[in-house]
Every structure is written in C-alpha cells, then in structure tokens.
C-alpha cells in the first residue's frame, strides 16, 4: 500500500536537498505519496509561525516525517524548532549511524558506529535562569524513564542487528547525580543482555578515543548533549556532515532528517550534498518495509561515489547538487 509521508522543506540548503531527495525517491519508484510543506524562517516572516498548523496536522496523521534542517536563531528567545518537534511528538530516540563508505576516500576505513542519543531531556529542556546580572544557570534533567527507554533501545538494537558492543558515554565523575543515574541504569540494563559487551567511557576520553582508535566503537548510548556532539564527531570520521543520516523515533511517530543544519554558508549556491537526507530517507524506507527500494538507492549512491566523477565540493569534488543527483538517477536507470 502506498505510504503517505509528510515532508518539511526547511531553511538554507533545505529546499535544495529536499527536492533532490524527492526526485531520487520517485526515480527509484518508492511507493510513497508526499504532503510537502515549506517551514522555517521564510515562513515565519510571512505567517508568524515556523511550521504551519496543517504541516503539523499532516505529520500527526501520517506519523512519518522527512524533515530538512531548520535555522535556529541564536539568542533571540526562540526555542529550537527541532527540540519542539522532538518533544511534541515524543521522539525520544535519536539514532545516528555513521558508516564509512569504502567507495569514498575518508579519514578512516571500517567505521560502523551507531549513536543512540536520548532526545527529550538533559540540558535541552531549555530551562535557563538569570540569577543576577553576572550569573545564569541551566538545568540538566535526567529521568529514570527516559534513560531506561533509550538504553534499552540501544541494547535491543544490538541484539537485533548482531552488534557486539554497547558503550555508555557520560561524565558521571563530575555529574554524580544526573549522569550517575544514567550510568547506573546502563549497568543494570546491561545485565539483561549478557551476550553484548557493555562498557562505559567518560565523554572527554571518548572524544580522544574516537579520533585515535574509532574502530573500537560499535553501538553507543548517551544523554542528549553528548549525543549531539559525539554524533557530529562521528560524521567527521566518515567524511563529514553531508553524509550522516538520522532517525528520531518515538512509540508512535518517526522523523527522518540529516544530522547537519541549514548550512547558510552554502545555501543557494547549488552545491549542497543531499546524501545525509537521502540516507535518512533510506532508513525510513527500511522501517516501512520498502527495503528493496532503499537498496536500489544505496547501490546507486555507491556507484556514484566509486566513480568519483560527480562528487560535491564537501567530498572533494566539483559537481553541483544537480549533477550529483543526475548521476544517481542514471545509476538507478541502469
Ligand atoms: P551546519 O550543519 O548547517 O553546517 C556546518 C558546516 O557543514 C558548514 O560549513 C556547512 O556548509 C557544512 N554542511 C552541512 N551540511 C552540508 C551538506 N549537506 N553539504 C555540504 N556541506 C554541508 O551547522 P551550523 O552552521 O552550525 O548551523 C546552521 C543552522 O542550522 C543553525 O541555525 C542551527 O541551529 C541549524 N541546525 C539545524 C538542525 C536541524 O534542523 N536538524 C541541526 C543542526 C543545526
Ligand atoms: Mg547537532
């Protein structure tokens, strides 16, 4: 049955990469119908809303959203729209697979790290308070329920995908209560998965280890802030933000998006790499059972990468987004 999905075109490079991905999905004959909405800054200036109500309603109905990046103005009192979406639809797990592609020249080979980022709390609850002119504080919130579900999701993923190791990232030596709770729940839940090697690492050491010996990592689970930072780091290991897909999942809804932002520095230049959003759409196709179509797209992408003729500038090439997409379309037609 044709699956209807909601699509948000986003800010900056958002519309360029969305159009690229929709073109590819259609060529690959994905069995999808699209409800497409402009969202973000431009829409805000016209309507006073970042996301139109009918866009949210569409997501509520379809339960699946393919979303492009949205600009979050810094320091203007706006709550991040991404954080708002994650909370409103209780998208509690942010899953970010960083897999090096052997067809690309990347810093490292044989990287296959999946980050499970808790997506609803930690410092991202946005509770900041001014104490006096010179002092501001932010609340870091960690709850048993939210921690348990993300930790269990990481272990379940290991079991389903035959992954050998699960690493908990934290700073429990300093944040004894908050990260301490997260770590102790990890250790408790790990006992239910004796076949999976469980270890934990302090976040600063994790950064060094990821740069020096990234192949030691398999599945990683962590609170929100560390997940945000560590997953950008893992994208650097495999060739940059243009390549890293993600899924934000809850019990009812799922939102698929690139890990990167709206890239205002290259917006409108026609050189954005749509791969991260394209691979996010492949995660979506896998999840809704259109596995063959996802495979067709991934294979076409590998062909284009290995021929190295149509790479975008972030991958060391000179191709435009259009040329890159055209090369993928040709591979799909083959
Ligand atoms: P960014 O991820 O937009 O860009 C960082 C660097 O990576 C830039 O040099 C950019 O050109 C490059 N880059 C990112 N995606 C690329 C692609 N597909 N192809 C080629 N190069 C790419 O991060 P930045 O500049 O910190 O954030 C810009 C805006 O995006 C901010 O307003 C931020 O709040 C927002 N943002 C939104 C996200 C979302 O909607 N999920 C996630 C991250 C940031
Ligand atoms: Mg981020």
pLDDT tens digits along 181-215: 999 999 999 999 999 999 999 999 999 999 999 99
> Is the pLDDT score of 225 beyond 90?
yes
Q: Residue 47: its pLDDT value, please? A: 85
Q: Please tell me if the CB atom of residue 257 comes closer than 6 angstroms to any atom of ligand 1.
A: yes
Place of tokens 């209807």: 4
At 110 the pLDDT is 95
What pLDDT, on the 0 to 100 scale, is given for residue 84? 82
Cβ(276) – ligand 1 distance below 6 Å: yes
Buried b (16+ CB within 10 A) or exposed e, 23-33: bbbebbebebe
- Identify the band that residue 314 occupies on the pLDDT scale cut at 50, 70 and 90: very high
Q: Given the CA of residue 73, which atom of ligand 1 is nearest to it? A: 32
- Judge whether 124 and 141 are in contact, CB under 8 Å: no
Mode of pairing for the β-strands spanning 165-170 and 197-202: parallel
Domains 1-94+241-334 and 107-237 agree in fold: yes
Ligand 1, pocket-test mutation among 69, 231, 317, most atoms within 8 A of CB: 69
CA nearest neighbour of 260 among 284, 240, 282: 240
Question: In ligand 1, which atom is closest to the CA atom of 17?
Answer: 18
Q: How far is the CA of 162 from the centre of ligand 1 (A)?
A: 32
Q: Given pLDDT bands bounded at 50, 70 and 90, which one contains residue 46?
A: confident
Closest C-alpha among 124, 9, 138 to residue 66: 9
| pLDDT range class, residue 76, cuts 50, 70, 90 | low
Nearest residue (by CA) to ligand 1, atom 5, is 263
Find out whether the beta carbon of 14 lies less than 6 Å from any atom of ligand 1: no
User: How confident is the model at residue 306, as a pLDDT?
Assistant: 94
Pick the CATH number of 1-94+241-334 from 3.40.50.620, 3.40.718.10, 3.40.1440.10, 3.40.1350.10: 3.40.718.10
Confidence at residue 43, expressed as pLDDT on a 0 to 100 scale: 87
State the fold for domain 107-237.
Answer: Isopropylmalate Dehydrogenase (3.40.718)
Neighbours of 311 (CB within 10 A): 21
pTM: 0.94
Best substitution site from 260, 276, 319 to test ligand 1's pocket, by max atoms within 8 Å of Cβ? 260
Domain ranges of the chain: 1-94+241-334, 107-237
């Amino acid at each position: 049955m044709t699956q209807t999905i909601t699509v948000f075109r986003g800010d900056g490079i958002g519309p360029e990469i969305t159009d690229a991905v929709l073109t590819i999905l259609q060529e690959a004959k994905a069995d999808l119908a699209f409800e497409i909405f402009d969202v973000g800054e431009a829409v805000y200036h016209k309507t006073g809303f970042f996301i139109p109500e009918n866009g949210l309603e569409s997501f509520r109905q379809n339960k699946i959203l393919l979303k492009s990046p949205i600009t979050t103005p810094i320091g203007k009192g706006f709550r991040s729209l991404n954080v708002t979406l994650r909370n409103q639809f209780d998208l509690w797990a942010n899953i970010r697979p960083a897999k090096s592609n052997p067809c690309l020249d990347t810093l490292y080979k044989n990287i296959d790290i999946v980050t499970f980022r808790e997506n609803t709390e930690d410092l991202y609850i946005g509770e900041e308070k001014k104490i006096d002119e010179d002092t501001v504080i932010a609340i870091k919130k960690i709850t048993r329920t939210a921690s348990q579900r993300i930790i269990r999701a990481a272990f379940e993923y290991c079991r389903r995908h035959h992954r050998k190791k699960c690493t908990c990232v934290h700073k429990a030596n300093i944040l004894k209560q908050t990260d301490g709770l997260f770590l102790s729940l990890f250790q408790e839940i790990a006992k239910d998965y004796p076949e999976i090697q469980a270890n934990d690492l302090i976040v600063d050491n994790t950064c060094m280890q990821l740069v020096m010996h990234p192949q030691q990592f398999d599945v990683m689970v962590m609170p929100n802030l560390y997940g945000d930072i560590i997953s950008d780091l893992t994208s650097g290991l495999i060739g940059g933000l243009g390549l890293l897909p993600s899924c934000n999942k809850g019990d009812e809804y799922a939102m698929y998006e690139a890990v990167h932002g709206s890239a205002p520095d290259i917006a409108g230049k026609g050189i954005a790499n749509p791969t991260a959003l394209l691979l996010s759409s492949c995660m979506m196709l896998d999840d809704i059972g259109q596995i063959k179509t996802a495979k067709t797209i991934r294979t076409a992408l590998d062909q284009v990468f290995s021929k190295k003729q149509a790479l975008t500038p972030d991958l060391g090439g000179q191709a435009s987004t259009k040329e890159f997409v055209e090369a993928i379309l040709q591979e799909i037609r083959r």
